[in-house]
Amino acid sequence: MKLLVIGSGGREHALAWRLLQSPRVKHVYVAPGNGGTAVMQGTSNVALSDPADLAAFVKNEGIALTVVGPEAPLAAGVVDVFRAQGLKIFGPTRAAAQLESSKDFAKAFMVRHQIPTAEYQTFTDPLAAHSYIEEKGAPIVIKADGLAAGKGVVVALTEKEAHEAVDAMLGDGSLGAAGARVVIEECLLGEEASFIILCDGKNILPLATSQDHKRLMDADQGPNTGGMGAYSPAPVVTSAIHQRIMREVIEPTIQGMEADGIPFTGFLYAGVMIGDGEDSTRPIKVLEFNCRMGDPETQPIMMRIRSDLLEVFEHGVSGTLDQASIDWDPRTALGVVMASANYPATPRLGDVITGIPLPQPDCVVFHAGTVLKDDETMTSGGRVLCVTALDDSVRSTQNRVYAVVDVINFDGAQFRRDIGWRALEPR
Ligand code: AMP
Ligand code: GLY
């Protein structure tokens, strides 16, 4: 059987790698793919991005099923285009993808369906936005309404920073249409977790829990990024918290989307803030919804899946996820992102990468911003690699991952030394 994975990041490399372990999968095309999927046995890259072109490719090649990695093709309606032609694709429609593609849509949805989230207001008028900031004070969070590739959120610690963020988004149009509307919301405190589920419109299948590290530097310092490393499971999500997230966030979201006439199919990622307190009462609030898997969360999550992932997706597109289950490796998986010089502001491209070891069953270097040129692997994006391993404890997994990180070389490489630190702390 042939499959297609849409996207070019570490997430897509990891999805393709895991899918290839299904005995029925003969080949995985990745569109557009990266330097890793260009050379992995069983995958090849396809230089297409337009939904109609991708659908034509799938028909010509007889591809059985397509899985979408990133948000942009979903917001562009790739699922709608494929479905209209009777092609099997796992992901949300364009309308359902608004949970991610419009912060205002997501906030209004959560209020309408009593899903806990930070208090907020939406603005297009800069004067009104400025006076709201004066009324509420700092810290306060400013978010561009539309997709802004991880650059649309400013957690302002001072009112001055908040006013500047509003000016940058609503005033000078630095984020284009994505910033023409802003959501301003209460700053939440606590510990973040990534809670990702699969849904077929009705039935919900949760993935293992995970935690991302958004800041560039150790000890959560420096600017926000797309994510500098992740691990699974996340100890903050105890079984009591897991049940509460399902009951208070995930189930009302899926039911709310159905009630609103836009049933959700695909991956739903709730970024949640878990406040201080006892498990039964600590506040759980939604920071964001994504309508896809997380990157880099996918990389450790894929390492822990022991079941046949193809079967899970088949249930996902057939409306039978109630019959699916996933067998998880109980060990810890942890991935460390190696990013290029000057990431996240203006990543430098074209540095030669050396020292990437061959994959092993429990240690894989997933590629993201890489390209193969004349037999050399070069950097071609902000986040370059995600070194991911599976081992018995958080500490031993960290040791395995960093032993590999230390033999990989490219000029200006940036990475954190402390991925997984929260799981090492006494609780
Ligand atoms: P988002 O794109 O909405 O997930 O925001 C990116 C990151 O900004 C989140 O992962 C949080 O670290 C932070 N963030 C977003 N909203 C809030 C909030 N209301 N309070 C505190 N931090 C937030
Ligand atoms: N790692 C965060 C995200 O994928 O949105």
Mutational pocket test of ligand 1: of 120, 153, 274, 286, the residue with most ligand atoms within 8 Å of the beta carbon? 153
Q: Considering only CA atoms, which residue is closest to atom 18 of ligand 1?
A: 187
Q: Considering only CA atoms, which residue is closest to atom 5 of ligand 1?
A: 153
Q: How confident is the model at residue 176 (pLDDT cuts 50, 70, 90)?
A: low
H or E, element range at 160: helix 159-166
Residues 219-259 pLDDT 10s: 999 988 999 999 999 999 999 999 999 999 999 999 999 99
Q: What are phi and psi for residue 161, nearest 5 degrees?
A: -60, -40
Q: What are phi and psi for residue 121, nearest 5 degrees?
A: -145, 155
Q: What is the spatial distance between Cα 69 and Cα 302, in angstroms, rounded to a whole number?
A: 13
Residues 258-274 pLDDT 10s: 999 999 999 999 999 99
Q: Is the CB of 391 under 6 A from ligand 2?
A: no
- Architecture, CATH, for domain 2-93: 3-Layer(aba) Sandwich (3.40)
Residue that the structure tokens 């998880």 belong to: 328
Q: Is the CB of 187 under 6 A from ligand 1?
A: yes
Q: How confident is the model at residue 147 (pLDDT cuts 50, 70, 90)?
A: confident
Nearest to 258 by CA among 199, 214, 216, 308: 199
For the chain, residues classed under CATH 3.30.1490.20 are 125-180
Q: What is the spatial distance between Cα 56 and Cα 403, in angstroms, rounded to a whole number?
A: 44
Q: Is the CB of 290 under 6 A from ligand 2?
A: yes
For residue 178, is pLDDT > 70? Answer: no
Residue type, 142: I
In CATH, the number for domain 333-424 is: 3.90.600.10
- What DSSP assignment string belongs to 225-256? -S-SEEEES-TTS-HHHHHHHIIIIIHHHHHH
As a whole number, mean pLDDT of residues 171-184 equals 72
Q: What is the pLDDT of residue 177?
A: 64
What is the pTM assigned to this prediction? Answer: 0.95
For residue 172, is pLDDT > 70? Answer: no
As a whole number, mean pLDDT of residues 85-104 equals 96
Decide: helix, strand or coil at residue 30. Answer: strand
- What average pLDDT does the chain have? 95
For residue 427, is pLDDT > 60? Answer: no
Query: What is the Å distance from ligand 1's center to 304 Cα?
Result: 27
Residue 68 has which token pair?
């979408």
For the chain, residues classed under CATH 3.90.600.10 are 333-424
In CATH terms, the fold of domain 125-180 is Dna Ligase; domain 1 (3.30.1490)
Q: What is the spatial distance between Cα 4 and Cα 54, in angstroms, rounded to a whole number?
A: 9
For the chain, residues classed under CATH 3.40.50.20 are 2-93
Q: What is the pLDDT of residue 173?
A: 60
- The β-bridge relationship of strands 43-45 and 27-32 is parallel
Residues 42-71 pLDDT 10s: 999 999 999 999 999 999 999 999 999 999
Instruction: Say which residue, 245 or 102, is predicted with more confidence.
Output: 245
Q: How confident is the model at residue 180 (pLDDT cuts 50, 70, 90)?
A: confident
Query: What is the Å distance from ligand 1's center to 361 Cα?
Result: 34
In CATH terms, the fold of domain 191-323 is D-amino Acid Aminotransferase; Chain A, domain 1 (3.30.470)
Query: What is the Å distance from ligand 1's center to 349 Cα?
Result: 28
Distance separating the N- and C-terminal Cα atoms of the chain:
46
Residues 276-331 pLDDT 10s: 999 999 999 999 999 999 999 999 999 999 999 999 999 999 999 999 999 999 99
Q: How confident is the model at residue 175 (pLDDT cuts 50, 70, 90)?
A: low
Residue 394 and residue 231 in contact, taking contact as beta carbons nearer than 8 Å: yes
Query: What is the Å distance from ligand 1's center to 327 Cα?
Result: 31
Asked if the peptide bond before residue 357 counts as cis, ω within 30 degrees of 0, the response is: no
Query: What is the Å distance from ligand 1's center to 266 Cα?
Result: 23
Residue 22 and residue 310 in contact, taking contact as beta carbons nearer than 8 Å: yes
Nearest to 123 by CA among 201, 78, 184: 184
Q: How confident is the model at residue 97 (pLDDT cuts 50, 70, 90)?
A: very high
Q: Is the CB of 100 under 6 A from ligand 1?
A: no
Q: What is the pLDDT of residue 153?
A: 87
Query: What is the Å distance from ligand 1's center to 188 Cα?
Result: 8
Q: What is the pLDDT of residue 96?
A: 98
Q: What is the pLDDT of residue 170?
A: 85
Directed axis angle between helix 126-136 and helix 159-166, to 10°? 160
